[in-house]
Amino acid sequence: MKKGFLQRTKKFTGLALGLAASFALAACGSTGQSGTGSYAGSSSTGAVSTNAVGNTGTVTTVSEKVLNIRIDSEPSTLDPNNGLTDQYGVIYSLVYEPLCRLDENGEAKAALATDWTVSDDGLTYTFQIRDDNKWSNGTASTAADFEYAIKRIAKQESGTNWAQLVFDIKGVSAAYSGKASVDDIGIHAEGNTLTVELESAEAYFPRMLAFSPYTPVNQEYVESQNGAFGTDVVIGSGPYYVESWSHDDVVVLKKNPYYWDVENTEFDTINVYVIGDANTATNMFLSNELDAVDITGTQVPSVEAAGYQIQAYDSGRSVYLRLNYKNKVLQNEKIRQALSSAIDRETFANNVLKDGSVAATGLVTNGIAGANGKSFREIAGNTLVYGYDENKAKELFAAGLSELGIEAKDITLNIIGKNTFSDTATILAALQEEFQNTFGITVNVENVDKTTYSSRSNEGDFDILLVAWGADWNDATTFLTQFDNNRDGSKPDQYNNDEFDVLFDKAYNDASADALTRAGYLVDAEKILLEEAGTIPIYFKGQYHVVSDRIEGLITQSVIPYEDFTQVKLK
């Protein structure tokens, strides 16, 4: 590495450690559940116990097949059409049976739908719904449940803030905005057959169906709750149902005896503990009270000392800089390319964050599906044309200044980040020092609250916005959509390139393209975006985790739920 950032690594590492401590939440109280262990051997001091038994330890609960897992915050709702967070997705995937689930390669596989066909124009999907699945109250799980769920969102009866994620279905957007009737939505259930019409030919649509907003819900049960559906225990159409919910404590799931694949449903009980403090959760894992847990980089030594092997997965979050094109300095392509070339991504990911994150090699993260069994990144390779090169950065910046007819001392850039993201202060400090030292400009940074961040982002009140964009669905379009002006709507502060828009449109609407050709459209679009430094990727957010030696089959993926426990078995 070139001198500069490495000399500052120690300082930034210290800042990162301080942040990790400051973001810890208060530990939960006792579970109150007999036979599932108790919260023991933990504290909120930041230390992780190394006295717990390692891989050879005895599991606390042996009377029945029990899995103990953790989420870090209290669910706001158990209504899958309403709630949408990283954490609650774990519960939704266990309790509700979607039409499709994602396999270990992130591809759609049969779930409630046994198979499906697609029309030649790519606009109509016909699903065959299995007739051997029931809700945990014995009611049949049918195609009508899906139709009801989507129309419920369109009528705004679910209260969801995520309705736009089902706007791919014909007529949903119009009905949601009150411009059309829900009767005009392109969904029709008849017996075990479900027909869905789309607004455009989206080849990734089956993968979308694993996403919680598309989850079927039971009309009779939902309406029997008198508007309170999701606030308490719920029936399930998936492998489990919610038996009890002790708020801010634990959600207890029980095996659904009517599930179509009940013979392969491994556990009698799954306890989903609400544990805000990462150190508490890690100590519970080391005490054999949890079977899997996400950990921070600072916890790795203690966990490895207990005899466990640390794993990492791509959390589907791309961290990058969004540039305001109303700023005349940032309108200059060479200035943008120079900023990208000044960022030492490898050192930042490996020596500062140390949390499983990796340096960005494009905008789309490593775990997103591509085509023919390969990920998008495997197909695209490294498309980050302007990676770290300090000399190149200075050369480009000087050329940009010459074109603008200004000096470095004339430039002030304001970078805004959101304080709800734990790495924000660290990144802002690194960028501020890197840009100021490399170019001799003034850089101001602001770490603001969520409301302020959203307001200023929407109003274009920034020079550079630090963005942590998470994948909503398992396709490269989940990252690239925001740069397509045909779909996202042209804005003065937004990147705009006609060639990008044409390629993106082909990826959406060329129904004749095979999977690899379609992926090629998106690869070429990403190359254009990054050749112009239309946005500046920094790193792909990773997540360390550790799994008990008594279980196997946990699937990690880059979309919600990041950890899929539905296939987990006892060894």
Q: Chunked in runs of 10, what are the mean pLDDT values of the chain (571 residues)?
A: 35 35 29 29 33 34 80 91 77 96 91 96 97 97 97 92 90 96 97 96 92 94 95 96 96 98 97 95 96 92 94 91 96 98 95 91 95 94 97 98 97 96 90 97 97 93 95 92 77 87 91 92 98 97 94 90 92 93
CA 173 – CA 166 distance, rounded (Å): 8
CB of 214 closer than 8 Å to CB of 101: no
> Token pair of 539, please?
């790193």
CA 261 – CA 259 distance, rounded (Å): 5
β-pairing, 555-556 vs 563-564, is: antiparallel
Angle between helices 390-404 and 424-439 (to 10 degrees): 70
Q: How many CA atoms lie within 13 A of 519 on its CB side?
A: 20
**Amino acid (1-letter code) at residue 563:** E
Q: How many helices (H) and strands (E) does the chain have?
A: 18, 23
Q: What pLDDT, on the 0 to 100 scale, is given for residue 538?
A: 98
* Nearest residue to 84 via CA among 561, 571, 568: 561
Q: What pLDDT, on the 0 to 100 scale, is given for residue 392?
A: 98
Q: DSSP alpha helices (H): ranges in 248-357?
A: 278-286, 300-305, 333-341, 345-347
CA 104 – CA 269 distance, rounded (Å): 24
Q: What pLDDT, on the 0 to 100 scale, is given for residue 2?
A: 35
CATH fold, domain 100-224, is: Dipeptide-binding Protein; domain 1 (3.90.76)
**Residues with Cβ within 8 Å of residue 534, at least 6 apart in sequence:** 323, 336, 483, 495, 497, 500, 528
pTM of the model: 0.83
> Token pair of 278, please?
């990462």
β-pairing, 292-295 vs 535-547, is: antiparallel
pLDDT tens-digit series, residues 246-298: 999 999 999 999 999 999 999 999 999 999 999 999 999 999 999 999 998 88
| CATH number listed for the domain at residues 314-543 | 3.10.105.10
Q: What pLDDT, on the 0 to 100 scale, is given for residue 405?
A: 97
Buried b or exposed e, range 4-14, using 16+ CB within 10 angstroms: ebeebbeebbe
Segments making up each domain of the chain, as ranges = 100-224, 314-543
DSSP string covering 80-133, please?
A: TTT---TTHHHHHHHH---SEEE-TTS-EEESSEEEEEE-TTS-EEEEEEPSS-
Q: What pLDDT, on the 0 to 100 scale, is given for residue 84?
A: 67
> Token pair of 485, please?
């002006």
CB of 159 closer than 8 Å to CB of 213: no
